[in-house]
């Protein structure tokens, strides 16, 4: 790869209470590949509070969710200190707010945002309601979010998010002040276009994962569920589909922890082929996946990406995914991955029963294809190339817009398309 003209990137991120989490992991991974390419990376982080005591403080936080003038000033100072070529926002909720875009505009620095979730069009951020996918607010005024109190089951908590979405569309912050967005899949890009973001500003760049190396090993008759035992992840679908219905020489490893653990352990109690090894450190995931033939994802929601799918393909383990969102695209189902009807235990059971019967030669052929797909699309080297191309395109657009603005004397934000 040619040496990039980009010298420095400023990453901006509002950490959640439950950090580290997936977004910060992606941010740090991108920082690392940029640094390895000789690009300096500065970081501006703020943290959400677990609880905000007092009515006055809660009102202030609600206001800042929509637009934080305080954050605008702080980010301007961070930009002035860092002097980056581009600002890359990963999350602005709840304390930073979309005012981050104006801070970049005032400092004449191009800004791009990765869309790690669907919060710009869904108050709950995951397009899920009552354990089923939901697009009721996509491209519409979010009456459904208000009616159903979608964020934390609270009208008071939901209203600031709805206001953030609508006010920042009306004032142009989301459509004009941000130079570009990065969606994680074609599916997500289509959702955001329907929600009102300009199509020409949305790039697609999937996540990547470090190459653990491909080792040919004898695989066990094993399927691994890898994830948190939370309602949106659907672990009960996996256990209900499996329990006492699979060949006794196969096993299901439920790798994870979470609030549904007691419930799914009770379902699995009568089937010794369902095992609960607890949580596995990220460094051990490749070795675990190398022992299995399949990795299983049963999310009720549209996953924003699904890192476990590409982690599996990196070591030649085949994905089993719900047939919605971007999962079939990432895993190239049915050529490589295997898809079932979302949230449907009967569909998953039938698929699992068929997969336990396929010839070893067929599985090995698909395993090699899975590894090849990872190498073609999901390595850090591919991610770096794509990220630098996006940065370059955004910087070029920004420069051309600045020239146009200088010539006609108009406000940059008004003139931006």
Of 407 and 266, the structure prediction assigns the larger pLDDT to 266
Q: Is residue 122 part of a domain?
A: yes
Q: What's the rounded Cα separation, in Å, for the pair 60 and 37?
A: 41
CATH number at residue 163: 3.40.50.2000
Q: Of the ranges 48-57, 70-79, 252-261, which one carries the lowest mean pLDDT score?
A: 48-57
Q: Are 128 and 184 in contact (CB under 8 A)?
A: no
pLDDT at 118 over 90: yes
pLDDT at 370 over 60: yes
32 and 46 in a common domain? yes
Q: What pLDDT is attached to residue 409?
A: 46
pLDDT at 327 over 70: yes
Q: What pLDDT is attached to residue 18?
A: 58
CA separation, residue 3 to residues 38, 245, 306, 317, 385 (Å)? 9, 56, 31, 35, 11
241 and 133 in a common domain? no
Nearest to 314 by CA among 272, 259, 368: 368
Q: Are 169 and 196 in contact (CB under 8 A)?
A: yes
Nearest to 49 by CA among 15, 19, 17: 17
- Percent of the chain whose pLDDT exceeds 90: 83
227 and 201 in a common domain? no
127 and 90 in a common domain? yes
Q: What is the mean pLDDT of residues 90-112?
A: 97
Q: What is the mean pLDDT of residues 326-330?
A: 94
Q: How far is CA 23 from the centre of its chain?
A: 7
Q: What is the mean pLDDT of the chain?
A: 92
Query: Token digits for 112?
Result: 């791009």
Query: Token digits for 55?
Result: 């009515």
pLDDT digits (tens, 9 = 90+) for 14-56: 998 654 467 888 999 999 999 999 999 999 999 987 555 555 5
Helix residue ranges per DSSP H, 37-126: 55-66, 69-82, 99-106
104 and 64 in a common domain? yes
When pLDDT is cut at 50, 70 and 90, the band that residue 111 belongs to is very high
CA separation, residue 252 to residues 360, 364, 391 (Å)? 18, 20, 43
When pLDDT is cut at 50, 70 and 90, the band that residue 361 belongs to is very high
pTM of the model: 0.91
Q: What pLDDT is attached to residue 412?
A: 42
Q: Is residue 1 part of a domain?
A: no
88 and 237 in a common domain? no
366 and 409 in a common domain? no
155 and 65 in a common domain? yes
pLDDT digits (tens, 9 = 90+) for 301-316: 998 888 899 999 999 9
pLDDT digits (tens, 9 = 90+) for 142-164: 999 999 999 999 999 999 999 99
Q: Is residue 215 part of a domain?
A: no
Q: What's the rounded Cα separation, in Å, for the pair 395 and 382?
A: 20
Domain count, the chain: 2
β-partners of residue 114 are 182
Query: Token digits for 197?
Result: 């973001």
Q: What's the rounded Cα separation, in Å, for the pair 338 and 322?
A: 8
128 and 51 in a common domain? yes
Residue with tokens 């919060």: 119
125 and 110 in a common domain? yes
Q: What pLDDT is attached to residue 19?
A: 47
Q: Is residue 405 part of a domain?
A: yes
pLDDT at 79 over 90: yes
3-state secondary structure of 282: helix
- Percent of the chain whose pLDDT exceeds 70: 92
Q: What pLDDT is attached to residue 61?
A: 79
Q: How far is CA 219 from the centre of its chain?
A: 30
Structural domain span for residue 84: 8-208+381-415
Q: What pLDDT is attached to residue 36?
A: 96
When pLDDT is cut at 50, 70 and 90, the band that residue 5 belongs to is confident
pLDDT at 376 over 50: yes
């Amino acid at each position: 790869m040619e040496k990039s003209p980009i010298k420095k990137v400023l990453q901006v991120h509002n950490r959640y209470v439950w950090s580290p989490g997936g977004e910060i992991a992606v941010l740090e991974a991108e920082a690392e590949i940029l640094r390895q390419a000789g690009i300096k990376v500065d970081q501006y982080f703020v943290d959400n509070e677990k609880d905000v005591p007092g009515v006055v403080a809660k009102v202030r936080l609600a206001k800042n969710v929509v637009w934080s003038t305080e954050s605008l000033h702080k980010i301007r100072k961070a930009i002035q200190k860092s002097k980056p070529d581009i600002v890359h926002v990963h999350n602005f909720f709840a304390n930073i707010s979309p005012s981050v875009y104006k801070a970049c505009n005032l400092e004449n620095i191009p800004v791009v945002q990765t869309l790690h979730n669907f919060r710009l069009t869904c108050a709950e951020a995951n397009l899920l309601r009552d354990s089923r996918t939901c697009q009721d607010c996509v491209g519409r005024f979010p009456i459904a979010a208000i009616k159903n109190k979608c964020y934390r089951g609270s009208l008071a908590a939901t209203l600031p998010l709805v206001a953030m979405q609508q006010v920042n569309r009306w004032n142009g912050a989301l459509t004009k002040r941000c130079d570009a967005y990065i969606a994680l899949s074609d599916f997500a890009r289509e959702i955001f276009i329907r929600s009102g973001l300009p199509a020409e500003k949305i790039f697609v760049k999937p996540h990547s994962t470090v190459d653990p190396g491909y080792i040919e090993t004898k695989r066990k008759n094993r399927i691994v569920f890898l994830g948190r035992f939370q309602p949106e992840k659907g672990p009960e679908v996996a256990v209900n589909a499996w329990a006492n219905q699979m060949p006794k020489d196969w096993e299901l490893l439920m790798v994870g922890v979470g609030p549904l653990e007691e419930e799914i352990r009770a379902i699995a109690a009568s089937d010794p082929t369902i095992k609960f090894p607890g949580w596995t450190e990220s460094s051990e995931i490749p070795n675990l996946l190398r022992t299995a033939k399949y990795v299983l994802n049963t999310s009720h929601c549209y996953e924003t990406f699904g890192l476990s799918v590409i982690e599996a393909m990196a070591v030649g383990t085949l994905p089993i995914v719900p047939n919605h969102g971007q999962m079939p695209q990432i895993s190239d189902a049915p050529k490589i991955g295997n898809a079932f009807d979302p949230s449907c235990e009967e569909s998953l059971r039938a698929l699992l029963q068929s997969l336990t019967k396929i010839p070893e030669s067929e599985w090995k052929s698909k395993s090699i294809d899975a590894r090849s797909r990872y190498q073609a699309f999901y390595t850090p080297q591919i991610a770096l190339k794509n990220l630098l191309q996006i940065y370059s395109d955004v910087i070029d657009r920004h420069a051309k817009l600045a020239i146009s603005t200088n010539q006609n004397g108009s406000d940059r934000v008004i003139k931006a398309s």
